[in-house]
Every structure is written in C-alpha cells, then in structure tokens.
Structure 1
C-alpha cells in the first residue's frame, strides 16, 4: 500500500505544477496524497479505447466533448492534480482554462488501466476517491486487467455510493448527467 504523505507532502502544489509544466515531452505527472507520480505513457490499445469512447460520446451526446489528457485540480482530495485519460464536459467548457482546470461542470472522468505496478492504487483507489471528492458525477474505469468496465456514480462525502462492473461486451449505462448507453463489444478487440 502506498504510504500517505498528506502530513509530510513531498512538495507544495505550486512546486508540483512547475515541475509538471517543465517535464519533457512524453512524461505525464500527477500529484496525489502529497506525492508526485508518473503516469505511464499510453500504448496503442489504450489510445484506441479512448478514441472509441470519444466517438461514442460524440454520437450520443453531440452537446458534449470528451477531452483527452485534461489536467484537473482535485483540491478537495489533498490538493491533488490529476490528468484524466478523458474528461467529459460541455462543448467549449475548458476555453481559457490553464493546464490544470477546476472540476466544476465536469460530468465524467475516464481512466483506462495501464499495465504497470501502480495501476491498482492509482486507477482503482486514488482516482475514484479524488474524483468523488471533487464532485465529478461519474467516474468510468475501463479495466484492461479484468476486461471489464466499472461505472462509479453518486458522489457523496468523498466516495462514490454506486458502483457497477460489467464485462467487455455488455451494455453499460452511464447514468445522468451523462445519460449514454455504451455497447462495449468492440472493447474485446483491445483486450491484451
């Protein structure tokens, strides 16, 4: 288990933002529980899953956009900074926003698991808690380790009260305010 460094953070949020801003191309950094974390660079199947979801969102909700790699301030979660694989928000929602945007108005955060040793803690524990604490209504986890999709919803008190997991191939309902049904059969092509 990752030690909690909230009482003794590695650095301030401002110091993290300076480091993240000057990181070399291909290095993606996040800040959780008072410590800096490197997020793996996605592989081709990861990218295809994000693009598949982007197409689904555009088809079913043309009033919304799925913004890849959006940096979000998740202040309620220990002054954290998360870079989502996808952030669903109204069209032009992030106009004028900097590298790290406020989560207000975000309808859904999306993560696709990577095959690395930190994915369990990062995508299944830290991020759901962070997104719930930030008040993001839906967190969608596409889990390539278990060939499943998990929908977390109804945030309250820093946790999602509802969680549903379905295998790749099932119909997955994204509750309001997203309101989309996903046919996930195509995700089987990207299981590895």
Structure 2
C-alpha cells in the first residue's frame, strides 16, 4: 500500500480504528467552511486534521476533519492536543463502511463526553447537516438536522448562520 492510500488511525473509546482518506470534494467542503468561520471571526481558524485527546479519562484520540478554535489554541502542543478552547469539531462523511459507526455514533458520544460545545456533521450520504450542541458530558442534548440547501444556525459559542446550498455541489 502506498502512503497516499494508507488510512489515518484514531483511537476511539479504547479501540483503534481507521479513518478513510479524504477525496477532493471532502477537502473543498473543509475549505468552504473554513472561509465561513474566518469571515465570521478572524480570530478563529478551522484547523484541519489536528489530533485531539478526547473521551473520559483520556480513553482516546480523534482527528476531526476540522476543529474551530482561537488561532493560538494549539501553539506548543503536539500531534494530540488538548480539546480545551475548541468551540466546534467538524466531520464530513466519507464513502466507506465505517462512516455510520464512526461519524454518526462514536464521535458524537466522544465529543460530548469531552464537552466540545458543537459537533457539526456534514453527511454526504444523506445530504444533510446535523448540528449537535449542549453537551451534558454523556451526549449532545440538542441535534438539529437540515437538508443541504437550507440555512442552519451554528449555536454559541460558534454563532454562525450557515447557508448549506453550496454543499449540493460536492456530493456524488
């Protein structure tokens, strides 16, 4: 297997797992969202692929597709950084068999346990955006689902209104 074909590894809920590599549309979605976030607050950045220590009692590590945080949040930290200061994590579904378990079940739970305020799932399989918020240490108490093409509010501390119409251009 060539390096560019190797999956990225994560350690969720005490178990190792593989995350599929991104395709061009996946990267374009992250670029689009980064621009929206920086436009809303130039003091923040959507860090692509920054490893985070997540879960209770440091059970795991995850590499979200994006982590929205103030620009100096990860300065001086290594590959697996503290999630302190992260306002939102973002996952864009990949076209692989583990997406359902990983992005729709395990990651929302792990991010809520870590008290990350907002989890944004851009689901290319269902052509929906799911905004998870109000973590209670176990799960997100609020989940808002909208189809691509609608506007959705990313709640505080993110505080961005997001028009999802462009997402229609980056699905199969």
Would the TM-score normalized by the shorter structure come out above 0.5?
yes
The answer as to whether partners of 1:84 and 1:110 remain within 8 angstroms in 2 is yes
Q: Would you say 1:57 and 2:37 are equivalent positions?
A: yes
How much does 1:63 deviate? 1.4
Report the equivalent of 1:152: 132
For residues 25-73 of structure 1, the C-alpha deviation after alignment (integer angstroms, 9 at most, x for no partner) is 6531100122211110001111111111001101111111100001000
| Contact 2:133-2:155 at 8 Å conserved across structures | yes
Q: In the alignment, what sits opposite 2:120?
A: 140
Secondary structure at the aligned position of 1:42 is classed as: coil
How far apart, CA to CA, are the structure 2 residues paired with 1:160 and 1:78?
19
The runs of at least 4 consecutive aligned structure 1 residues that moved more than 2 Å come to 24-27
Structure 1 residues without counterparts, runs of 5 or longer: 1-23
Counterpart Cα distance in 1 of 2:137 and 2:161: 27
How far residue 191 of structure 1 moved from its aligned partner, in angstroms, is 1.5
What's the TM-score once normalised by structure 1's chain length? 0.85
What's the TM-score, normalizing by structure 2?
0.95
Show the 5 A alignment for 1:31-180. Answer: 31-76=11-56, 79-180=59-160
How many angstroms does 1:130 deviate by?
0.3
Deviations 1:109-149 (A, max 9, x none): 00000010000000000000000000100000000000010
Structure 2: state its 5+ residue gaps. none
What is the CA-CA distance between 1:78 and the residue it aligns to? 6.1
Q: Which residue of 2 aligns with 1:28?
A: 8
Query: Number of residues paired by the alignment?
Result: 169
Quick one: distance in 1 between partners of 2:7 and 2:94?
15
- Counterpart Cα distance in 2 of 1:139 and 1:75: 14
